[in-house]
Every structure is written in structure tokens, then in C-alpha cells.
Amino acid sequence: MRRALTLALLALLVAFPHAAQHWGQMFYVSFATRIIIYALAVTSLNLILGFGGMVSFGHAAFFGAGAYTVGILMAEGAASVWLAWPLAVLVAALFSLVIGAVSLRTRGVYFIMITLAFAQMMYYLAVSMRAYGGEDGLTLPGRSRLGAGLELSNDVTFYYIALAVLAVALYLMRRLLDARFGQVIQAIRENETRMEAIGFPVYRYKLTCFVIAGAVAGLAGALIANQNSFVSPNLLQWTQSGTLMVMAILGGVGYLWGGVLGALVYLVLEEALSAYTVYWQLGVGVVLLAVVLCARQGLASVIARLIPAGSVPRG
Amino acid sequence: MVELLAVEGLYKHFGGVVATDRVDFAVAEGEIHALIGPNGAGKTTFVHQLAGALRPDSGRISFGGVEVTHTSFHERVRVGIARSYQITSIFRSHSVLDNVALAVLARSGSAFRFWRALARETALFDEASAIAAEVGLQTKLTQLAGRLPYGEQRRLEVALALATRPKLLLLDEPMAGMDPQAAHGIVELIAGLKGRVTVLLVEHDMDAVFKLADRISVLVSGRVIATGAPDEIRANGEVKRAYLGDEAAA
């Protein structure tokens, strides 16, 4: 049932740019790409927040690290996707390794505060990079170059690339969550002390999970830099971490589709409401309150209840 | 007597309170060794240090002739020391089978595997269900651990430690909070372990202790004041005074 729905959704998303083109609404292709990119970023946050139980308030640091890697490389004349994107992932992974290695020695509120502090340090680092726009940000000359006759500057092509990245990421995350590693991570969320007591090196698992999430956020950052053709310190600011977190909570913390749903609903609300008022955040706040009060586990939990799960058969 | 666990001069204090006061202590291979003592004697703190959850300030712990004083909590499980908790610590939203399977997984190679679904690793679950059967939970495999009656949660608590296949099992008040009938079931369970695994039993229930233990050590105010066979401990005047109160000794 779920697999059929997933495939139907995928078919719909593949057909979407053609429909938009047909009705001359190309704006929506670019808007959908933005949703897809945020969906990827929130999904990566959901891995540590929802499945690993690590409430990181600094996820924008890795998102921004990926974006700046692409931006700086492009400013220096290196525009190849095949260089810039893997490097964005690598840089974000390295930052998350260092930040995680320190932060994961703490628990609870201390963990929230220390991840926030690290992210703010990276924000000010970005502000201080005068050569790359400083506070004003850096406008990129174009999008990364993919080769093979494909032009990312074409919005439809870029949409498909982003969609493919998200689809692969979701599939890999599903595998990971069902495999040994994911099961261990989820058990650590439930009872960390007992996991240690039955012989798991808990810290190592949490750090690995943190780095995977950081790396994926870096990839999302590389995509957003291309999408906007612009990077600025705002990408790393704590409000950005907050937005990612709100999206995750809205969509469903600890649900595979939570990140996608959260990004979708948040950005559509933002788009729809900001047409009427500059105080659109008030509307988003009301919706968030309603969701948290009525469906504490987020929108994905409501959908999960409606659609029967196809659990992995034993044996 | 071959010593499996040897503790020398173990010392731990919290602020001004000395929780473990230069304890010398040994558990022989194959025995059931009970550790008794009044509330606040430092029994759980002592178990924490043996298991590696707490670092002693000084002293030495060796296991099977190898020093493990600075070996981390999870590494000690690999060496063969496993513990259960006085306050039940299980995976409440996992099924009984999944609970035990996690403990089996901990010792069956790396869990840094990202592709194959754990649910398909049949061997793991077969072994887990055999261990669940050992503690009498064979009919509860699919039940959520958090929904089990308290007595069965206590059995699962022991099963999690047992599933690590320890050489030394540290049981911290396995009968805590149980009614006499359920407690009797645990006594039988522990008796059944005899000869297969060495047990250090921390327990308040004196009937159980005297029934099960080969040797008993008495911990009072962080110090071991006596070690010996149950009869010796029963007859020991110092133990009576410290443990049972002055009136009992009179």
C-alpha cells in the first residue's frame, strides 16, 4: 500500500514540471525545487532529532557549510558539480565530526546550547569572510556545471536533479533505519544507559549518526546555493536552525516522511500567507500550535495512522 | 578457589560521603556470591564501579587476571561483566524479543551496517527467543516490554544481562519490589544459572540470599565487614550488630 502510494507520488512529481510548463506557471517549478531542497535538509535533521534523539539546535551550520563550499569554489572558478558537491558534503561532514565530537559529550539542554553555540560561531565566521561577501553574502555567477549535456541553469533540469537526490536520500535512509545501525540508533534514543550496559559503544554510534546527518545537510546546502545563486550568512543563522526544527516538528519527528511533509507544509504556508501579510509567521505559528496540540507526533503520524504500514517481514 | 573478580583497595567518595571505603573483595569462579548490607551501605555504587558505569577514585579491579579498572562500561561487557538494574531499565516500546535481540546484537559483530534489514537476520532472533525462554518469557515474545506485568519486566531485566553471555553476572536487587510468589520465580531462575555463570547478587531478601548464596559479603558504610559461608555470616556478631541492629545482637 505504502509502496504503491510512494510510486504514485513519485510519478506525480516527475510529471509536475510538464504540467507547470503547459500552463505557463514556471514559478512553481522553482518553488517546488526549494521545497525539495528543504525537505532534504529537514530529513537529515530528523535522522538525529527524531531517530537518534539528539536535539541539535545547530543544524543550519552544516546546511550553510555546504552552501558556502559551493559558493566559494564558484567564486574561485571551480563550478563543476562533480567537484563542488562532494566537497560540500565532505566539508559539512568534517564540521559535524568536530562539532559532534565535542557536543555529544553533553546531554539534554547542554547539548542544545552547545550545538547552538557552535552554529553561531560558524555564522560569525561567514560574516567575517570579507572576500566572500561578508555580511552581505555572495552572489554566484550561475549554477554548478553538471556536464553530459545537462544544464542546471535550466530550472526543470535542476528540479529533476534535486528530486533524484531527495528520492535516493529517502531510500537510503529507509535502508539505514531498518538495518542494524538504524535499529541501534533508535534503541539508544529509547534507553541510552541500557545500550551501554549491554555492550554498545553508544558515543561512537551517536557521532556517526550526527556526521551522516551533517553530510546530508551539506548536500542540501550545496543545492540551495545553486537554487538561489546566492549564499549569505543567513543560511547559518540560528533562526535557520530553528526553521529546520519547526519543519521537522510540524512534519513528524521520527517519521521517515516527516521532513518532507514539514518542509512542504511550512513553505506552502509561507508562500500563501506572505501574499496577504508580512506577518505570515503568525499564521505558521497558529498551524504549528494546532499540529502540536492535535497530533503531537506531527503530520506524518496522522498519515501513518491512515495508511497501514508494510513492515519488514522477519526471516 | 579460582578468583574471577578481584577488587583491591577500591575507594570512591562523593563530596564528604565515602561510598566505597578501601574495599578488598573477590568473587570465585562459578559461585553465587551475595552482597548484603543495610540501605545506604553503598551496594549500588559498588556495582556501578564493577560494571564500569562509575570510575573509582583509587583502587584496582581485575577480572580473570586482567586489570579492568579503566576499561569503559561497554568494553567490560565484551570482557564478560554484565549487570542488571535495581530500577528496571528495558526498552519499553520494543517487543520482548526485540529487547533481547538488541543484547544479542551487541556481541554479534559490528552494528555499523547500513543496508540489510535487521529483521531479516533470523539467527539473531532465534538466539534471542531461546534466551527469552530461559527466563520464562517464551509466550510473551511479541508483547511490548512496557506493557508487561512488573514481575515479567524484572525477568526481562535479567534476560538483557544474560543475553550478553557474561562470565560474571551482576544482579542488582533482582527481586526489588516483587511479591513473594514472583520473587520465588526469580530465585529459581538464579538457582538455574548456577554452574553456568558466576553471579554477584545484591539483594535485600534474606531468605533468597541464604537459599542461593555460596558465600556472602556484608557491606556497611562502604566497608566490607565480613565475608564467608552463609552459616558463618549468620553467626557473625559484628554482622548482627551492624546489619540487624543492636537489639537483634543482644
Residue B30, Ramachandran bin (φ over 0: left; ψ between -120 and 50: alpha; else beta): left
Minimal-distance CA residue of chain A relative to B119: A314
A176 contacts in chain B (CB < 8 Å): 114-115
The predicted pLDDT at position B250 comes to: 43
Out of A49-58, A78-87, B233-242, least confident range: B233-242
Distance from CA of A224 to the nearest CA of B (A): 27
The predicted pLDDT at position B249 comes to: 44
Q: Which of residues 186-245 of B touch A (CB under 8 A)?
A: none
The predicted pLDDT at position B242 comes to: 77
Testing the interface with B: which of A47, A180, A206 to mutate, by most B Cβ within 10 A? A180
The predicted pLDDT at position A146 comes to: 85
Minimal-distance CA residue of chain B relative to A172: B115
Average pLDDT over residues B185-213: 92
Q: Are strands B32-36 and B198-202 parallel, antiparallel or unpaired?
A: parallel
Q: What is d(CA A45, CA A251) in angstroms, rounded to the nearest whole number?
A: 12
B115 contacts in chain A (CB < 8 Å): 175-176, 179
CA proximity to A166, closest of A304, A35, A49, A60: A35
Per cent of chain A over pLDDT 70 is 98
The predicted pLDDT at position A167 comes to: 96
Out of A178-182, A198-202, B142-146, B242-246, least confident range: B242-246
| Single pTM value for the model | 0.93
Testing the interface with B: which of A173, A178, A183, A189 to mutate, by most B Cβ within 10 A? A183
CA proximity to A125, closest of A36, A64, A198, A176: A64
The predicted pLDDT at position A164 comes to: 96
B14 CB-near residues (< 8 Å, 6+ apart): none
**pLDDT category, A315, cuts 50, 70, 90?**
very low
Q: What is d(CA A213, CA A51) in angstroms, rounded to the nearest whole number?
A: 11
Q: Name the DSSP letter for residue A48.
A: I
pLDDT digits (tens, 9 = 90+) for A260-304: 999 999 999 999 998 888 888 898 899 899 988 888 888 998 888
Q: What is d(CA A135, CA A132) in angstroms, rounded to the nearest whole number?
A: 9
Mean pLDDT of chain A: 92
Distance from CA of A115 to the nearest CA of B (A): 25
A51 contacts in chain B (CB < 8 Å): none
Kindly state the cell numbers that stand for A268.
506552502
> Does the structure show a pLDDT above 70 at A310?
no
Q: What is d(CA A120, CA A128) in angstroms, rounded to the nearest whole number?
A: 12
Predicted ipTM? 0.92
Q: Do A314 and B119 touch (CB under 8 A)?
A: yes
Cα–chain center distance at A239: 15
pLDDT digits (tens, 9 = 90+) for B8-60: 999 999 998 999 999 999 999 999 999 999 888 899 999 999 999 999 999 99
H helix intervals, chain B: 43-51, 73-79, 96-106, 122-134, 150-162, 180-193, 206-212, 230-235, 237-239, 246-249
Testing the interface with A: which of B50, B71, B72, B74 to mutate, by most A Cβ within 10 A? B74
Q: Do B120 and A201 touch (CB under 8 A)?
A: no
pLDDT digits (tens, 9 = 90+) for A93-148: 999 999 999 999 999 899 999 999 999 999 999 999 988 988 888 999 888 888 87
Average pLDDT over residues A195-202: 96
Q: Note whether A285 contacts B: Cβ–Cβ < 8 A.
A: no
Kindly state the cell numbers that stand for A311.
513492515
pLDDT digits (tens, 9 = 90+) for B85-112: 999 999 999 999 999 999 999 999 888 9
B119 contacts in chain A (CB < 8 Å): 178, 311-314
The predicted pLDDT at position A213 comes to: 98
CA proximity to A233, closest of A67, A95, A57: A67
Out of A162-176, B124-138, B231-245, least confident range: B231-245
Pairs of residues, one from chain A and one from chain B, whose beta carbons lie less than 8 Å apart = 110
Q: Note whether A308 contacts B: Cβ–Cβ < 8 A.
A: no
The predicted pLDDT at position B232 comes to: 92
Mean pLDDT of chain B: 92
Task: Tell the burial category of A96 from Cβ atoms under 10 Å away from its Cβ (0-12, 13-18, 19+).
Answer: buried
CA proximity to A40, closest of A221, A192, A202, A200: A221
Angle in degrees, CA A280, A284, A289, rounded to 5: 145
Which amino acid belongs to residue A43? T
Burial track A43-69 (b if 16+ CB lie within 10 A, e otherwise): bbbbbbbbbbbbebbbbbbbbbbbbbb
Q: Do A183 and B102 touch (CB under 8 A)?
A: yes
Within 13 A of A312's CA, how many CA atoms are on the CB side? Answer: 16
**pLDDT category, A314, cuts 50, 70, 90?**
low
Out of A150-154, B53-57, B140-144, least confident range: A150-154
Name the strand (E) or helix (H) holding B53: none
Q: Do A180 and B120 touch (CB under 8 A)?
A: no
Per cent of chain B over pLDDT 70 is 97
SS3 B99: helix
Q: What is d(CA B92, CA B102) in angstroms, rounded to the nearest whole number?
A: 13
Average pLDDT over residues B145-171: 95
Q: Which of B93, B106, B119 sits opposite A200 (nearest CB)?
A: B106
The predicted pLDDT at position B150 comes to: 93
Q: What is the 3-state secondary structure (H, E, C) of B121-156?
A: CHHHHHHHHHHHHHCCCCCCCCCEHHHCCHHHHHHH
SS3 A242: helix
CB B46 within 8 A of CB B35: yes
Cα–chain center distance at B171: 2
Average pLDDT over residues A10-14: 91
Give 3-state DSSP helix, strand, coil % of chain A, rounded to 5: 75, 5, 20
The predicted pLDDT at position B121 comes to: 92
